[in-house]
Amino acid sequence: MKKITAIIKIKKNTVDYNTVDYIDEIVIPFETRQKSRFKVTTKGNEEVGFFLQRGHILRDNDRVSAEDGTIYKITAANEAVCTGYSRDALLLTRASYHLGNRHIPLQIGSAWIRFQVDHVLKEMVENLGLQVEIEEAPFEPEPGAYFTGLNERKQTAHHHHDADDHGHSH
C-alpha cells in the first residue's frame, strides 16, 4: 500500500491544477476528505493510505503525492445532500445566515445552497421559502472565515479571548 503524505500546493495564479499530471484518481466524500488518516481504494483499484497533517481538508481537483512521488487527483464523490434553490438573493442570504449561525458546513452557488442531509434543517430552509431537494451531488462547502486563500492549506483555529462576546456559544 502506498503512503500519501502531502498535498501538492499550488499558489494562486501560478500553475493550474489541470496541468499537473496524475497517475490515478481518488473519489471520496467530504466526511473522509476532512480526515488526516484513512485508507481508500483508487479508481484504478490500488489501496492507498493517507497520513496528512491535521487541519487540512482535501478539495475536489486537489493533487496529492505518495512518498514515492506518485501523484493522485482527488475527486469529490457524489453524496446525499440537501440543495435549496431560489432566484431570490435575499432568501438565499437569510437561509445561509440561519445555517451558518448553526455552524453547518455550507456550499453556496449563485442560485442555490447545499448542506449535508438533515431533515430538521431541510424543513427550516423550506419554511424560509426555498425549494429543497435531497439529491446526490459532490459536496464542497465554504472553507470558513479562517481559510487563508485559494489552494493554500493553512487554516487558523476559531478562538476568542475571554472578554470577547460574539453573540453565540460553542
CA distance 140 to 162: 33
| Mean pLDDT of all residues in 94-122 | 96
Quick check: 107 and 142 in contact, CB under 8 A? yes
Per the model's pLDDT, the better-predicted residue between 19 and 159 turns out to be 19
Same domain? For 35 and 57 the reply is: yes
The total of structural domains in the chain comes to: 2
Same domain? For 27 and 71 the reply is: yes
Rounded to the nearest integer, the mean pLDDT of the chain is 84
Same domain? For 61 and 86 the reply is: no
Q: Which residues on neighbouring strands pair with residue 26, listed in sequence order?
A: 74
Phi, psi of 83 (to 5 degrees): -120, 120
- Which pLDDT band, with edges at 50, 70 and 90, does 26 fall under? very high
With a cut of 90, say whether residue 168 has pLDDT above it. Answer: no
Residue 169 within a domain:
no
Chain segment 136-164, per-residue pLDDT in tens: 999 999 987 655 544 443 333 333 444 44
Please tell me the predicted confidence (pLDDT) of residue 164: 45
Lowest mean pLDDT among 27-36, 91-100, 126-135, 144-153: 144-153
Kindly report the CATH number assigned to the domain that includes residue 112.
3.30.70.790
CA nearest neighbour of 82 among 110, 114, 123: 114
Quick check: 73 and 25 in contact, CB under 8 A? yes
Please tell me the predicted confidence (pLDDT) of residue 17: 61
Q: Which domain holds residue 120?
A: 78-138
Please tell me the predicted confidence (pLDDT) of residue 40: 96
CA nearest neighbour of 118 among 72, 166, 80, 71: 80
